[in-house]
């Protein structure tokens, strides 16, 4: 058997393979550039509506459920926190009451608490185009 035009086909195949497997090897090549995400301890005495692990995995579903409850059903019943306190169903005046605290150190450098993690996993959230990030105002008052 003879391979005609091998000079073109073989390099072509190699380029094709490199392109197809791009997602698998690019991570290895750029491993040094990727920052590892550092989880920060929650400020003392503050608990969320679910344990941390569940919040990580399910917060998006919870937020959507609360959104529909407040906007479409007009039901503003506050939600219970793990420690028995209640929280207003509002991004700016509920979640951010804890998550944009001024003593949260490194969060200052970011628009919000959320951006930190979402940047790391490459997800763009558009909540903050409308909902107000209270962080700049908190910083201004200082």
Partner 1 sequence: MMRLDRRDFLKCSAAGVAGLAAVRAVLPASVSPAAEGRSAAGSSQKPKRWAMVVDLQKCFEGKAKACVSACHQWHNVPEWPEERLEVKWIWEEKFSRLFPDQSFEHMPATLRERPVLALCNHCANPPCVRVCPTKATFKRPDGIVAMDMHRCIGCRFCIAACPYGARSFNWKNPREAENLKHQINLEYPTRARGVVEKCNFCAERLAAGLQPICVERAEDAALIFGDLNDPASKVTHVLAAGFAIRRKPSLETDPQVYYLISAMR
Binding residues vs partner 1 (CB under 8 A): 67, 71-72, 74-76, 91-93, 126, 129-132, 134, 137
Smallest distance from the beta carbon of 114 to partner 1, in angstroms?
15
Smallest distance from the beta carbon of 129 to partner 1, in angstroms?
4
- The CB density around residue 60, as the number of other CB atoms within 10 Å, is 10
Nearer to partner 1, 9 or 75 (CB): 75
Q: How far apart are CA 115 and CA 63, in angstroms?
A: 16
Q: What tokens appear for 125 in the block? A: 């959230």
Q: How far apart are CA 48 and CA 95, in angstroms?
A: 9
Smallest distance from the beta carbon of 119 to partner 1, in angstroms?
20
Nearer to partner 1, 67 or 108 (CB): 67
Nearer to partner 1, 14 or 139 (CB): 139
Nearer to partner 1, 75 or 102 (CB): 75
- Burial of 86-117, coded b for 16+ CB within 10 Å and e otherwise, reads ebebebeebbbebbbbeebeebeebebbbbbe
Smallest distance from the beta carbon of 122 to partner 1, in angstroms?
22
Listing DSSP states for 32-67 in one string gives TTSPPPPP-PPPTT---SS-HHHHHHHHHHHHHHHH
């Amino acid at each position: 058997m003879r391979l005609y035009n091998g000079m073109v086909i073989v390099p072509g195949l190699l380029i094709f393979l490199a392109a197809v497997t791009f997602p698998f090897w690019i991570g290895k090549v750029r491993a040094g550039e990727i920052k590892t995400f550092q989880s920060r301890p929650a400020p003392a005495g503050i608990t969320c509506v679910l344990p941390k692990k569940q919040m990580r995995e399910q917060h998006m579903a919870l937020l959507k459920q609360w959104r529909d409850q407040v906007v479409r059903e007009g039901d503003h019943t506050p939600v219970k926190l793990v420690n028995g306190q209640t929280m207003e169903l509002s991004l700016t005046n509920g979640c951010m009451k804890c998550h944009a605290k001024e003593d949260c150190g490194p969060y200052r450098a970011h628009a919000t608490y959320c951006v930190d993690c979402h940047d790391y996993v490459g997800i763009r959230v558009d909540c903050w185009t409308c909902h107000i990030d209270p962080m700049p105002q908190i910083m201004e008052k200082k």
